[in-house]
Amino acid sequence: MKRLLSGVMGALAIAVVALATPAWAESKGKIYYLVPTLLDEFQTESVAAIEKFLKDVGYEPVTLNADNKTDLQQSQMNDVINLKPKAIVLAAVDFNALQPSIEKARAAGIPVMIFDRQITSTAVDFTSVAGTVEIGHVAAGEIQRLLKEKNGAVKGKVLQVLGDPADPYTLDIQKGFEERMKEFADVKIISLPAMQWEASNAGTIVADQLLANPDIDLIFVHAAHLAVAAVASMEAKGKKPGDVLLVSSNGAPVGLDLIRKGWEQVEVEQPLYAQAAAIGMFADKVANKQEIKPGKYQVLGLESELTIESWGPNLKIPGAAITKDNVDESRFWGNLKAPAEPVTPVE
Amino acid sequence: MNREQTASGAARSGGASSGTGPMMSRDRRALIEFLLDNLVWIMLAIVLAVFSIAIPNFFQIGIFANIVEQSTFVGVMAIGLAIVIIAGNMDLSVESIAALTAMVTGILFCARGIGLGITLTPEWLVLPVSLLLALVIGGIIGVLNGLLVVRLKMNAFIVTLASYIWVRGLVVAISGGRSAQDLAPSLRFMGIQTFAFIPLIAWLAIACFALFTFVMAKTPFGRHVTMIGGNPVAPFRAGIKVDRLVLITFVLAGAIAGVAGWLLAIRTSGATANLGVGMLFNAFAAVVIGGVSLKGGIGRLPGVYAGVLLLSSIHTAINLMGLPAHYTQMILGALVLAAVLIDTVKLQIRQTLA
């Protein structure tokens, strides 16, 4: 019994020492990344990228997945606040619902960095975004070009397949896209949401609409994995690559493959690696509560502009249109070639 | 359940033995019985007629073929779910099982993304091998569910809820959140080739319904499963191996859900980690609308298929009308409530007839 007790005590002592000792001696502390879901490739790759870039600058990253549940992410925020990390990186499930949690964290002295999903309703310490509305703008520009090439003018019928209608991400893209298409009265846009971002729902929409509106010129889907199902439906209806133009957004590997196969003409990329690199570059400034200066910054070779907005320092990194001419460039995250070079903190 | 089954049974036996009620002729009673038994088909016919008149571009063979095609996955999933429910249990894991088999099919037989692009010689072997694999994977999870319910007497709702969660987690784990695409042509042809305007995958779903309708209606297995769902004690006393049959229903549900996932991978030419999300609730709605009692012991698979077609028709109508998808959810909820209400009314009518 005595031996057993001493064994248990010894194990406990080891556990306490292990828990109290940082994972690596040079660590500047923990930074938590609250990822909204791991059910799409952008988010999955963002975990790898953010963890890599935070390690580059000496932090110990910890990732928590909210499974697309707002309440779960709120609980995670509350838990993390109690753990007093150096900072929190948040990609919010719901832009507005997380506002009180952000305020609570900052009141507790924990800086909050926003990744990818912009929050403007409350003050944050740093934001790294491509801008979802801007993705809609880029898509609109490319779609105007494609329609002009096909029909001689910016006219025709566009089927817009959104993601889940409860997700502000897709609504922002829609907003950006439609505000740039508004001036083209000869373009008819049919918008339908793929519930829960589920691919077969997108396939069903495309299958129905190709019958109801056989004169559809172009399909714009809000995520590359939906484009795969859209192509499957087109193929099932006897369409060949290029019969119906296809544009997608987010730059996932599947979208790039569809460009290579000729089914898709444009993929509007979210510059995932640059967005994640910026988190690493500015982590010291944020964690140490130092002033962040506005201006132009080079992030993985992309000229990005940092402005001081009412909600805090905001770094906007330009998205890019991927076509068959540039699809193989390694800077696109869809090629899954994360930059090997470590990032350096901003001075 | 017992009350309902007894009432229903009494109505039927009453009609057969006495031949006449005090107020109603035999023919009229038979007509009412027929209408009650096929109410969901009548609803489907009315809905299709209304949509055809009211919605531009709805009335065309292609749209009807689409409705049948879209019913494939939820329909196949609903077969296994209905069998388990008729047996007096519950299986929440069917959606995740379908996602798992879709992902396994995608990983093994897709050429891009995380697909390994495995090829077999001759090429057509991919079809039976992948189908067998889907059946086996689904069946194994069904065995696990069934054993926990039958041997350890754990609650089926909790057991299958746990499976719903861990199996979806397994999908995310094996895929790393990534997707597979560009499925082998020898599988894709099932989603592209049509017979009588309907894709082969939809014919497969129809064949599944026909097979299991026969099994449930015409074989001792089907009759015993229905009896167990009505009252497990009586069949046990009659010497029927209740536990074994309940276990088989879970295995069947798992294996059939595996087929649903296999079909889903074929339709979408690959798999994503969130493939099939939300289908469980559609399958449940179809089962309830189709007249299967959640208390067990009552239900016929043709009614379930009609329920699936009804839901697909509504989804398609909403797509064509361009209504926000939120309306789909509202209509779906209202439809399920209406189905339960109609079921209650049917019971009362049958009691009156008896």
Q: Which strand (E) or helix (H) includes residue A184?
A: none
Question: Quick check: B272 and A225 CB within 8 A?
Answer: yes
DSSP codes, A27-81? ---EEEEEES-SSSHHHHHHHHHHHHHHHHTT-EEEEEE-TT-HHHHHHHHHHHH
Bridge-based pairing state of the strands B198-199 and B194-195: antiparallel
Query: In the prediction, which pLDDT does A301 show?
Result: 85
Question: Quick check: B66 and A235 CB within 8 A?
Answer: no
Q: Which residues of A touch B70 (CB under 8 A)?
A: 204, 207
Calculate the average pLDDT of chain A: 89
CA distances from B181 to A136, A248, A276, A289 (A): 26, 16, 26, 45
B237 pLDDT more than 80: yes
Q: Is B96 on the interface with A (CB under 8 A)?
A: no
Phi, psi for A296 (deg, rounded to 5): -95, 140
Q: Which residue has the tokens 């979802």?
A: A132
Question: Quick check: A212 and B63 CB within 8 A?
Answer: yes
Question: Quick check: B177 and A257 CB within 8 A?
Answer: no
The SS3 call for residue B257 is helix
User: Among A191, A208, A232, whose Cβ lies nearest the Cβ of B267?
Assistant: A232
Calculate the average pLDDT of chain B: 88
**pLDDT band at residue A3 under the 50/70/90 scheme:** low
Q: What is the DSSP letter of A255?
A: H
Q: Is B324 on the interface with A (CB under 8 A)?
A: yes
Bridge-based pairing state of the strands A266-269 and A320-322: antiparallel
Query: In the prediction, which pLDDT does B332 show?
Result: 73
pLDDT per residue as tens digits for the range A206-225: 999 999 999 999 999 999 99
Question: Quick check: B268 and A199 CB within 8 A?
Answer: yes
Most A CBs within 10 A among B274, B318, B321, hence the mutation to make, goes to B274
Mutual orientation of helices B94-109 and B242-268 as an angle, nearest 10°? Answer: 50
Average pLDDT over residues A51-71: 92
Residue in chain A closest to B274 (alpha carbons) equals A39
Most B CBs within 10 A among A191, A200, A210, A264, hence the mutation to make, goes to A200
A91 pLDDT more than 50: yes
pLDDT per residue as tens digits for the range A237-275: 899 999 999 999 989 999 999 999 999 999 999 899 999
Query: In the prediction, which pLDDT does B23 show?
Result: 59
Residues of A with CB under 8 A from a CB of B: 38-41, 43-44, 165, 190-193, 195-201, 203-205, 207-209, 211-213, 225, 228-229, 231-232, 235-236, 252-254, 257, 261
Q: Is B276 on the interface with A (CB under 8 A)?
A: yes
User: Largest Cα–Cα distance of chain A, in whole Å?
Assistant: 89
The SS3 call for residue A88 is strand
Q: Which residue has the tokens 């571009």?
A: B57
Query: In the prediction, which pLDDT does A130 show?
Result: 85
Compute the distance between CA of residue B283 and CA of residue B301 in angstroms, rounded to an integer: 12
End-to-end CA distance of chain A: 59
User: Among B58, B277, B319, whose Cβ lies nearest the Cβ of A198?
Assistant: B277
Question: Quick check: B66 and A207 CB within 8 A?
Answer: yes
The SS3 call for residue A188 is strand
Amino acid of residue A222: H
pLDDT per residue as tens digits for the range B195-234: 999 999 999 999 999 999 999 999 999 999 999 998 888 8
pLDDT per residue as tens digits for the range A297-330: 999 988 899 999 999 999 998 788 999 999 999 8
Q: Which strand (E) or helix (H) includes residue B171?
A: helix B156-175
Question: Quick check: A208 and B66 CB within 8 A?
Answer: yes
Question: Quick check: A198 and B275 CB within 8 A?
Answer: yes
Residue in chain A closest to B316 (alpha carbons) equals A208
| % of chain A beyond a pLDDT of 70 | 93
pLDDT per residue as tens digits for the range B111-165: 988 899 999 999 999 999 999 999 999 999 999 999 999 999 999 999 999 999 9
Residue in chain B closest to A228 (alpha carbons) equals B268
Please tell me the distance in Å from B68's CA to the nearest CA on chain A.
11
CB pairs under 8 A between A and B: 122
Question: Quick check: B320 and A208 CB within 8 A?
Answer: yes
Query: In the prediction, which pLDDT does A288 show?
Result: 95
**pLDDT band at residue A19 under the 50/70/90 scheme:** very low
pLDDT per residue as tens digits for the range A103-121: 999 999 999 999 988 888 8
A144 pLDDT more than 80: yes
Query: In the prediction, which pLDDT does B324 show?
Result: 66
CA distances from A280 to A89, A344, B53 (A): 10, 8, 59
User: Among B172, B179, B274, whose Cβ lies nearest the Cβ of A198?
Assistant: B274
CB atoms within 10 A of CB B46: 11
Question: Quick check: A257 and B277 CB within 8 A?
Answer: no
User: Among B179, B326, B328, whose Cβ lies nearest the Cβ of A254?
Assistant: B179
Q: Please indicate whether residue A111 or residue B3 has the higher confidence score (pLDDT).
A: A111
Query: What is the complex's ipTM, to 2 decimals?
Result: 0.77
Most B CBs within 10 A among A192, A228, A233, hence the mutation to make, goes to A228
Q: Is B138 on the interface with A (CB under 8 A)?
A: no
What is the distance, to the nearest Å, from the Cα of residue A127 to the centroid of all Cα atoms in its chain?
13
Question: Quick check: A41 and B177 CB within 8 A?
Answer: yes
Query: In the prediction, which pLDDT does B337 show?
Result: 83
DSSP codes, B62-116? HHHHHHHHHHHHHHHHHHHHHHHHHTT-----HHHHHHHHHHHHHHHHEEEET--
Query: In the prediction, which pLDDT does A20 show?
Result: 45
B19 pLDDT more than 50: no
Q: Please indicate whether residue B18 or residue A93 has the higher confidence score (pLDDT).
A: A93
Q: Which residues of A touch B325 (CB under 8 A)?
A: 165, 192-193, 195
Radius of gyration of chain A (CA): 22
Q: Which residues of A touch B73 (CB under 8 A)?
A: 200
| % of chain A beyond a pLDDT of 90 | 71
Query: In the prediction, which pLDDT does A268 show?
Result: 95
Radius of gyration of chain B (CA): 21
Between residues 175 and 234 of chain B, which touch chain A (CB distance below 8 Å)? 176-179, 181-182, 188, 191-192, 199
Query: In the prediction, which pLDDT does B130 show?
Result: 97
| Residues B156-187 as b or e (16 or more Cβ within 10 Å = b) | beebbebbbeebbebbbeebebbbbbbbbebb
pTM: 0.80
Among the residue ranges A294-298, B72-76, B175-179, B282-286, the one predicted with the least confidence is B175-179
Q: Which residues of B touch A205 (CB under 8 A)?
A: 319
Compute the distance between CA of residue A279 and CA of residue A114 in angstroms, rounded to an integer: 9
pLDDT per residue as tens digits for the range B24-80: 677 888 888 888 888 889 989 999 999 999 998 899 998 999 999 999 999 999 999
Q: Which residues of B touch A208 (CB under 8 A)?
A: 63, 66, 316, 319-320
